[in-house]
Structure 1
Amino acid sequence: MKKCFYLLLTLLCVNYSVMAAPGFRIKGKIVDANNNQPIDFADVFLFREGEVNPAYQTLPEADGSFRIADVKDGKYHLLVRLVGYDLYNRPNIELKSSSDMMDLGVISMKPLEVGLAEVEVVAQKKQVIYKLDKKVIEASSNLLAGGGSAVDILENTPSIRVDAEGEVSFRGSSGFTVYIDGKPSVFSGTQALEQIPAGHIENIEIITTPSARHDTGGDVGIINIVTKKHVQDGFSGMVNLTGSTVLSRGVDFLLSQQNKASRWYFGGVWSERLRKSDFDQEKTTIISDTATTSHSNGPRKSNNFNYSLKAGWMYSLPQTTFNVDLEGGYGGRTRNGDLDYREKRSADGTTFGEGDYYSRDDYDIHETYFLGTVGFDHKFNDKGHQLTGSFYLKYGGNALEYFQSDLFNKNNEREKGHRAWEDEHRWTVRGNLDYIYPYSKTGRIEGGYQYFSYLEDGDYTMHFWDPVKQEFYNRDDIYNTFYFQHGINSIYGIVADSYKSFDFQAGVRGEHTHRVLRSSIPGKDRTYNKFEFFPSVHLGYTFPKEHKLLASYSRRITRPELFFMEPYITYRDFYSAEIGNPDIRSEYINSFELNYKKNIGEHTVSATVFHRSRKDKIERLRVPYEAGVTLDSMANVGHDYSTGIELSGQVQLTRWWNVNLNGSLYHYKVKNQYKTGGENETSTNYDIMWNNSFDVLKYTRVQVDGNFVGPSVTTQGRTDAFWYVNLAVRQQLMKRKLSATLAFRDVFNSARYVSKIITSDLQSITRIRPSYPLITLTVSYTFNNFKVKSSQKKEDHDLFEGTNH
C-alpha cells in the first residue's frame, strides 16, 4: 500500500509535464561589484507596475545567472535583494508581445559600506534552497543556530536524526561524507560537524545524489560546510561566546582584511561541548546454558572538544586567483560513566552467582593535527571557461584512542579492570585538477582528475587487572601492530545544458581503489585493487507559474574504513567489546530522487520522493562474548531499502511570524542475512519539525521549535519515538552589532531515548534521559560588515549520552 502511495505521488508530479511551457522571457546574471564573483543566493523579485506584492520570484544558479519564465505581457520592475548588499532596482521593463525576450545582462550588486546596521530587511532568507544537484541550508535562517555547531543548523532538515550519543544520521544512515569549503574535514561524520562553530558557517550544502565531479564515498551523499568569507574592502570580524547549565563553553572568532586584490583571514576556536545524561540498561546474555542478567544505571557525560587556529590568504589577478589556507589544532572526544552495576548468573533456573559493583569507565579519542591547502582558479574568459586546481595535505600526530574500565566492590576495592591504548599516526593527501569548457551559451563540458591517499599506522596495547597481585599486567596475546593505506585515483566527465525550461546534467566517474591492510596477527593481511564506474544524472524542468520538478540518480559506495577492518578485540567499557572484520566488503548504493518545488510569493512548498537501495549493508552486530559481556562485530548484514517522501513548507504568516514545517515519512526494510532478529525487518520512520519565529520587537526575536522523532528499526532491534520542544529568545543591541541569546532545550523534559535489541541469545534495553534543565547563553559581537547572524542556537536531538552498550 505504501509503495502504491509513493508511486501515485510520483505520477502526479510527473503529470505536470503535459503542460506546455514557454521559454524564459527575462534573464540576467548577478555578480559582486567589487570582485565580479557570481552571487547565487540573492532573492530576485519581479513586480507588476503599481503592485506591492511580487508577481514572480526566483533564485540565481551557481554561476549567478537567473531566468524568469511565463511572464505575462505588461510593465514591470525588477528588485534584487541580498543581505549585506545595496538593493538593486530596474524599472521600466515592458513586455508587449508573447515573443518579447529581455536580457538584463550583468547586474552588479554593491556591498554596503556600513553594514547591516543601516539596513532593515523585513523578509527572512529561505531556510532551504533547491538547486539542480543539491539543496542548500541557509545558516542564518535558523534563529537558534548561533553558538552551536553545524549539527544545530542541520536540525530542521527533513530526515536528519541525532541519536542518544549525539550521532547524526540522514535517512537512516550515518554514511555521509563531510567537506569544509569543498575540502575533506579534519574529522569525519558527526565529530566533523560538531567541531565547526555555527558562527563561522555561511550555509550547508546537502548533496544526496552527488554528480560525477564529487567523491563517490558516503551512502547518503555529501555534507559540505561553506564558511563565511569577507569580500568587502576593509577590516571586519566577529566573536562568539557561549556557555550552558551542563558547563558547555566556547569562544570562537574570525577576523578578515580585504584590500582590493588581496584578502587574508585569521580565526580560532576554543570549544567544549558537554552532554550529561542518566543511563539505565538491562541486559541478558546467554552462553551455552548459562544466562547472565545485569542492570546498570547512573550518570554518563561526554565532551566534544576542539582547540584550533586557522589562517588564509587569497590574491586575485584579473583572470587568476591564488589561495593558501593553514590550520592546526587539538581535538577529540572524551566520555565517562559512574554506574551502579548488579549482575546475576543462573542455569536451569538456579542462581549461582551474584555481584554488586561500581562500574567506572573512561574513553578518550584525540588528535593533534596540522593541515594546509594551496589552490588556484584561472578564468580564460567571463563565459565560464576555467581551470582550477588544489593540493591538500593533513598530518594527524599524537593520535590516541584510550579505553579504561573498572569494576569496584562496595568497599571501593578494584576487582576487575582493563586499560587499552591505540596509538596512531595519520596522513591524508588530496590533489584535484578540474576543467570547464562552455561549448555554447547554456552548455558546458567538465572533466577532471583527483588523487586521494589516506595512511595510518600504529599499535594496540591492553593491560588487565590481576586481583591477586593487585596490579595491571600486559596481555602480549592481544598486542597488535597495524598499517593501513587507502588510495583512490579518479577521473570524471560531465556534460550539462539547458533548453528553454529544461536543464540536464549527466556524467560518469571512474575510480581505481588500492587498499592495503597489514597486521601482526597471522593471516590478517589484506590487499585490494579494483576499478569501477559511477554514473549520475540530474534533470530539471520548470513549468508555468514557477513550478519546478527535479529528478536525479547517482551510484555511490561506502568503502571499509580502518576501524571496520581492525582484526583484534577492543573494549568500549568493561561489558562491551568490539572487533573489526578484515574481509568486510564495500556497500553499493543506488539513489533516486524526484523533487517538486513551488514559490508562492514569499512562501515556498517542496516535496521530495526518494528511493535508496543498498547492497552489502555494513553494520555492527552484537552477540554474547563472555558472561555479561557483549561483542560488537562488523558484518555485511544484507540489503536494505528506503523509500519515502520529505515535505517542507516555508510560510510568512504575518510580517512578524514566520513558520517552517518540515516532515519526512519513509518505509525502511532490511533483508537480514543474519537471522538474529528476524529475516526481514521493516519499519515506517517519520519525523516532524515545526519551527516558529516571532519578531516581537524591532531587535527582539523569539523562536519555538517542536520536534517529534518517530520509531525506527535496526538489524537487531528498534528505537522508540520521542518528542521535545525548544525555546530561544534573542536580543540585539548596539545597532545589531551585539546580540545575546538565551536558549532552553527540551523545555518540558520530555525527551527519552529507548533502544531495544532482542535476539535468541541477547536481550538489551537501554534507556537514556538527558540532564535537565539545559539552558544555553550565547553572546555575539560583530564589527564592520561581518553581518550579525539572524539566528541563534538551534537545538538538536543530541540530548542524550551513552547508547553504545
Structure 2
Amino acid sequence: MNKLCMLLTLCLWCAISYAGQADYQVKGRLVDAESGAVIDFADVFLFRTGENQPVKQTFPDKQGIFGFTDVSDESYTLMVRLVGYDVYASQPLAVTGQARIDLGDVRLEPLETGLAEVEVVAEKRQLVYKLDKKVVEASSNMMGSGGSAVDILENTPSIRVDAEGEVTFRGSSGFLVYIDGKPSVFTGTQALEQVPAGHIENIEIITTPSAKHDTDGDVGIINIITKKHSQKGWSGMVNLSGSTWLSRHVDFLLTKQNDRSRWYIGGQWTDRLRKSDFDQEKTTVVGDQTTISHSIGPRTGDSYHYTMKGGWSLELPKTSIKVDLEGGYGGNKRRGDMKYQETRIIKDAEPVTEYYNSIDDYDNDENIGLGSFVVEHRFNQEGHKLSASGYYKYGGNALEYFFNDLNDLQGNRQQGHRAYEAEHRETLRANLDYALPFQNIGKLEAGYQYYSYLEDGDYKMEWWNPETQSFYWRDDIYNTFYFQEGVNSIYAILSGAWKGLEAQAGVRGEHTHTVLRSSVPGADRTKNRFEFFPSVHLGYTFPNDHRLLFSYSRRTTRPQLYYMEPYITYRDFYTAEIGNPDIRPEYINSFEMNYRKAFGENTVSATLFHRSRKDKIERLRVPYMAGVTLDSMANVGHDYSTGLELSVALHPVRWWNTTVNGNIYHYQVKNELSAGGKSESSTNYDILWNNLFALGKYTRLQLDGSFVGPSVTTQGRTDSYWYANVAVRHQLFDRKLTLTLAFKDIFRSACYVSDIQTADLRSLTKIKPKYPQILLTISYTFNSFKAKATQENDDRNEMFEGIKH
C-alpha cells in the first residue's frame, strides 16, 4: 500500500506540473449547434490544405475540448465527423511557430433528414479507446433482431457468454452495470438483458475505473448510454421481434423535446427463451457408497421483463434537472424434463439401478420500482460544476421457487420437494460531486457517496413422504435472514494535460459496514472495514498519431447475500447449495497498456493487461448425499490473468467492412484450500470475426464467426466451441421502417462442455442448443431517431439453457 501511495503522489505531482505547461497550437470545443450541449465523442482531423489524408487525429475530452500540438508551419483544414451530424470543415488555418489558434466553440449541426451523408455504417468505428475506457458503438453491429445490451457486447474482445447466457469479461462475471451513469435495476447479466438494443446509443467498458467510480466489480463497469438527444417536437421508436424458439419482444420509446424541457415514456414486454439439450453424468463417493447418475433431456429457460419507464428533464442556462421513474415485473424461469438413471454401488453388494423421470421447475420473480434524480449547476462553460443525485430501488414480493419431482416410469411420484425463498430488497444511493478546472487544461474532482443495500426474507421447504403420499414441511430447514450493507465513500481526482501527454490520478476511501442475521445458530456476523482504492491513468500521443494509454486501479468484490446464506437450499433434486457467512471480499489489482493507430479508415488497437486477485471467490462442488452434490462459495486462493486483446478494423472496399477481435491470455489459479480443488493454469483465447456488406442503398448483410477457447477452474475445465451467425437488414420508407432477419448458430455447432473432477466427485455436463434460432425484427422510428439506424443484435446469450446444474 505504501508503494501505491507513493506512485499516486508522484502521478498527482506530474498531473499538476503538466497542467501548467500544456500549449495547444490549435484547439477548440465541440458543441451541439441546436442545444449547446457538449459533444465528447467525435473524430477530429487536421488536413494539410489540398491533401485528402489527415496528418493528425484526436478526440475531445469530457468537456468537449480538443487540441493539437507539434503542428509544423503550414496551412491546414480542421474536419470533425460524427454520425448524426453534418461534417464540419473549417476555413484554412495558418499555423506559425508563434501563433496559437483557438477556434472557440465548434458547432456541429444535427442532420435534419435522411442518412445519405453517413450511409456507410462502418465509417463509425466499432471500438473507440479513451483515456479511462473504451466505447462500443451500438449501431456498428446489426446482428440479432430484438436483442439487448448482451448482443451488442458479444463482439467485443474478451467478452464471453456461457451456456445459460451469463456474461463474463476476461473470465469473470464480477462487473457492475450502470445505465446512463446510474446503477441498473438489476445486476450482472440480468441488467444487460433488461436494456433493449434499440434504445442504446453506445456502451462504455471501464476496465480500470478511476477513483470516482464504485470499487465493486473486479473487472470493472459496463455503462450503457441510452438515446436521449432529439430534435424539437415528437420523436419515437417501436421494435417488435419474435423467433422460432418462441422468444418475443416489444419495446417503445416516445419523447417530446421543447425549448428547454424534455419528457419521455417507454416500456418493454420481453420473453427471451433458451432451449437446450442437457446431458450430465455424475459420480459421487460418500462413505462406502458410490452413486453413478445420468440425466438427459430438454431444458428451457425464459428471461422475462415487463416494465414501463418515464422521465422529465429541464435545461436552464446554468442548471439542469432530471427525474426518472421505472416500474414493472421481471425474473427468470427454467424447466427441465429429464430421463434419470441412478446406479448405487455399496461395498460387497450387487449394484442397484433405478430409472426415473425427473421434472424440475425454477422461477425467480420480483416487482420493482425505481426513482432517481440529478441536479447539476454549471458555474461556467469550462467545466466548473456541482451536482447532486439520488437513487432508490424497491424490490417487493420477490419469490424464488424450486419444484422437483422424481417419478417412476409409470408416472408415480417417488421423491420430490418444493422450496420457497421470499425476499424484500431496498437499494439507496446518494452522490455529491464537484469539478473545478484550472489553467484551462487541468481539473480537480472530488465527491461523496452513500450506498445502502437491504434484503430480508425467509426460506422454507416441503418434502414428499412416499408412505403418506403427501408433502410435509421440513422444520429443520426453515430459516430467516436479514442482510444490510452500508458504504460511505469519498474520492479525489486530479487530471491534466501537457502537449501530447494526459494524466489522471485519484484515490477513493471507503468505510463498509455489513450486518448478517440468520435463524441458524452462530451465523450472525457484523463487520466493519475502511480501505483505500487508488487509480492512475496516463496517455500519450506520439507524432503521426500513434497513441499509447496506461492505467491502473485497485478494486474489490464484496460477497453478495447468496454467497453467505448459512443454510442449505436446493437448485434441483440432485444439486444442493449452502452459503458461507465468513467468506471474505476479493481484492484486485488491474494494469492495462493500450496502443492505437488509425490508418485512414483502418484502425489497429492492442491492449496488454494483467490482473491479480487475492481471495478469489469460486463455487466449489462436493458430494453431499448419495447422488446429491453440495455447492458452496469459498475463497479458493489467488488467480492471475495476463494477456493481449487485439482489434483490427479494415475497410478493404467501399461495400465491405471487416473487424477481427482477438483475445489471448494466460490464466493461473493457485488453490490455497486443503481440499476441494487444485492449482491450475490454461491459455484462454477467443476470436470473433465480423463482416458487414452493403448490398445496395438500403440493404446490409452481416456474417459473424466466433471461436471460444477452453478454460480452467480450481476443480476442472470447460471445453472450446464455435458458432456462426448470419443477418440481413433492409430499410424502407426513408429509413423509418427497418426489417432484420437473423439466423443464429446456423451450423448448431455451439456445445458447452464442463468437466469437474475431484477425489470423490466427477461431473461431466454437456449442453447444446436444441436447434438454430431464426429471429425477425420490425423497427419503426420517426423524427430525430431516424438519423440513427435502429440496431438489433443476435442473442448469443440464448444459445444454451442449463449451465447451473
Give the TM interval when normalised to the shorter protein.
Answer: over 0.9
SS in 2 for 1:389: strand
The corresponding residue for 1:91 is 91
CA positional deviation for 1:284: 0.2
CA positional deviation for 1:763: 0.4
Judge which range, 309-318 or 228-237, deviates more.
228-237
The corresponding residue for 1:10 is none
The corresponding residue for 1:507 is 506
The corresponding residue for 1:4 is none
CA positional deviation for 1:98: 4.4
CA distances 1:114-136 after superposition (whole Å, capped 9, x unpaired): 35478645652111111111111
2:620–2:676 Cα contact (<8 Å) kept: no
**Unmatched 5+ stretches in structure 1:** 1-20
The corresponding residue for 2:44 is 44
Distance change >3 Å, CA 665–CA 436, structure 1 → 2: same
TM-score (norm 2): 0.95
**Unmatched 5+ stretches in structure 2:** 1-20
Equivalent AA in structure 2 for residue 42 of structure 1:
A
CA distances 1:212-254 after superposition (whole Å, capped 9, x unpaired): 1000000111111111103321110001011111000000000
The corresponding residue for 1:378 is 377
CA positional deviation for 1:141: 1.1
The corresponding residue for 1:271 is 270
CA positional deviation for 1:609: 0.6
CA positional deviation for 1:730: 0.5
CA positional deviation for 1:24: 4.3
The corresponding residue for 1:205 is 204
The corresponding residue for 1:747 is 746
Distance 1:594 1:328 in 2: 41
Equivalent AA in structure 2 for residue 660 of structure 1:
T
The corresponding residue for 2:558 is 559
Using the aligned pairs only, state the percent identity.
65
Equivalent AA in structure 2 for residue 301 of structure 1:
T
Task: Within 5 Å, give how 1:630-649 maps onto structure 2.
Answer: 630-649=629-648
Equivalent AA in structure 2 for residue 321 of structure 1:
S
Task: Within 5 Å, give how 1:703-742 maps onto structure 2.
Answer: 703-742=702-741
SS in 2 for 1:153: helix
SS in 1 for 2:411: coil
The corresponding residue for 2:57 is 57
Task: Within 5 Å, give how 1:110-509 maps onto structure 2.
Answer: 110-114=109-113, 116=115, 120=119, 123-144=122-143, 146-348=145-347, 350-509=349-508
SS in 1 for 2:91: strand
Distance change >3 Å, CA 145–CA 72, structure 1 → 2: farther
The corresponding residue for 1:696 is 695
CA distances 1:708-742 after superposition (whole Å, capped 9, x unpaired): 00000011000001111111000011111111111
Distance 1:258 1:527 in 2: 50
SS in 2 for 1:697: coil
Distance 2:52 2:438 in 1: 41
Distance 2:472 2:319 in 1: 61
Establish whether residue 803 from structure 1 lines up as the match of residue 776 from structure 2: no
SS in 1 for 2:492: strand
SS in 2 for 1:351: coil
Task: Within 5 Å, give how 1:660-671 maps onto structure 2.
Answer: 660-671=659-670
Distance 1:78 1:154 in 2: 33
The corresponding residue for 1:770 is 769
Distance change >3 Å, CA 349–CA 701, structure 1 → 2: farther
2:22–2:498 Cα contact (<8 Å) kept: no
1:538–1:553 Cα contact (<8 Å) kept: yes
2:145–2:241 Cα contact (<8 Å) kept: no
Distance 1:445 1:521 in 2: 49
Distance change >3 Å, CA 122–CA 188, structure 1 → 2: closer
The corresponding residue for 1:33 is 33
Distance 1:100 1:406 in 2: 81
CA positional deviation for 1:391: 0.7
Distance 1:247 1:712 in 2: 32
Distance 2:309 2:788 in 1: 21
1:83–1:121 Cα contact (<8 Å) kept: no
2:30–2:105 Cα contact (<8 Å) kept: yes
CA positional deviation for 1:36: 1.7
Distance 2:254 2:724 in 1: 35
The corresponding residue for 1:79 is 79
Distance 2:327 2:115 in 1: 32
Distance 2:379 2:184 in 1: 30
2:565–2:578 Cα contact (<8 Å) kept: yes
Establish whether residue 533 from structure 1 lines up as the match of residue 497 from structure 2: no
2:553–2:589 Cα contact (<8 Å) kept: yes
Distance 2:101 2:122 in 1: 28
SS in 2 for 1:173: coil
CA distances 1:366-402 after superposition (whole Å, capped 9, x unpaired): 1100110111010001111000110111110011111
SS in 2 for 1:612: strand
SS in 2 for 1:631: strand
2:709–2:720 Cα contact (<8 Å) kept: yes
CA positional deviation for 1:353: 2.1
Equivalent AA in structure 2 for residue 342 of structure 1:
Q
Distance 2:136 2:25 in 1: 29
2:678–2:714 Cα contact (<8 Å) kept: no
CA positional deviation for 1:630: 0.4
1:726–1:744 Cα contact (<8 Å) kept: yes
Distance 2:277 2:328 in 1: 32
1:321–1:377 Cα contact (<8 Å) kept: yes
Distance 1:755 1:745 in 2: 22
1:344–1:351 Cα contact (<8 Å) kept: no
Judge which range, 34-43 or 596-605, deviates more.
34-43
SS in 2 for 1:794: coil
CA positional deviation for 1:698: 0.7
TM-score (norm 1): 0.95
CA positional deviation for 1:656: 0.9
1:737–1:788 Cα contact (<8 Å) kept: no
Distance 1:642 1:615 in 2: 12
Equivalent AA in structure 2 for residue 51 of structure 1:
E
2:263–2:312 Cα contact (<8 Å) kept: yes
Distance change >3 Å, CA 74–CA 738, structure 1 → 2: same
CA distances 1:314-336 after superposition (whole Å, capped 9, x unpaired): 01111000111000010010001
Judge which range, 449-458 or 35-44, deviates more.
35-44
Distance 1:760 1:367 in 2: 40
The corresponding residue for 2:3 is none
CA positional deviation for 1:794: 3.2
Task: Within 5 Å, give how 1:533-612 maps onto structure 2.
Answer: 533-612=532-611
Judge which range, 39-48 or 563-572, deviates more.
39-48
Equivalent AA in structure 1 for residue 288 of structure 2:
D
CA distances 1:733-782 after superposition (whole Å, capped 9, x unpaired): 11111111111111111111111001100001101110212111111110
SS in 2 for 1:83: coil
SS in 2 for 1:545: helix
2:144–2:775 Cα contact (<8 Å) kept: no
Q: How many residues align?
A: 784
Distance 2:118 2:804 in 1: 49
Distance 1:171 1:46 in 2: 36
1:484–1:515 Cα contact (<8 Å) kept: yes
CA distances 1:589-613 after superposition (whole Å, capped 9, x unpaired): 1111111111111111111111111
SS in 1 for 2:25: strand
SS in 2 for 1:800: coil
1:513–1:529 Cα contact (<8 Å) kept: yes
The corresponding residue for 1:672 is 671
CA positional deviation for 1:496: 0.5
Distance change >3 Å, CA 678–CA 560, structure 1 → 2: closer
